[in-house]
Amino acid sequence: MIVRGAGPRRDRLGRRDRQGGVPEAQSASVADARFSLDGRWLVTARPVSARLWTADGQPVRYLYGPKPTVTAVAFEPDSRAVVTRESDGVVRRWACDLCGGLDELVALGEARLRATRGTIDAEERARYLG
């Protein structure tokens, strides 16, 4: 993942492809961008939201609060929560269920599947969980 400035208050996010080029994943006003300590996640502060990305540039989720501008973002040390600061001084903490390790993600997926009374067959388990 590459985060680079591209003019006044405008950053670009991209990921290097196999030919060494950098296709653009996002081009927008970004006030702040931080990687998680484990290097797996990126969070960006945008005018009305924060956005969570995988380290390879895949968007995961928007974090919306009320309408003030998001001016700063950070991960908690364990990467399990994102903290945002808005222009009016409000600080918000966002739990990140997806930011855990693989075992935690599998447990989360299985719990959500049980909650919906869904099932996963052997072929799906092999395809998605290796």
Q: Are 34 and 40 in contact (CB under 8 A)?
A: no
pLDDT at 59 > cutoff 80: yes
The rounded distance, in Å, linking the Cα atoms of 82 and 18 is 31
5 vs 34 pLDDT, higher one: 34
Q: What is the DSSP string of the chain?
A: -EEEE-STT-EEEE---TTS---EEEEE--SEEEE-TTSSEEEEE-SSEEEEEETTS-EEEEEE-SSSPEEEEEE-TTSSEEEEEETTS-EEEEE-GGGS-HHHHHHHHHHHHHHTT----HHHHHHHH-
pLDDT of residue 130: 66
- Residue whose token pair is 């599998």: 106
Task: Give per-residue pLDDT as tens, 99-127.
Answer: 766 677 677 777 878 888 777 788 887 87
pLDDT of residue 66: 64
Neighbours of 75 (CB within 10 A): 21
The rounded distance, in Å, linking the Cα atoms of 11 and 127 is 36
pLDDT at 7 > cutoff 50: no
Q: Provide mean pLDDT across the span 39-68.
A: 84
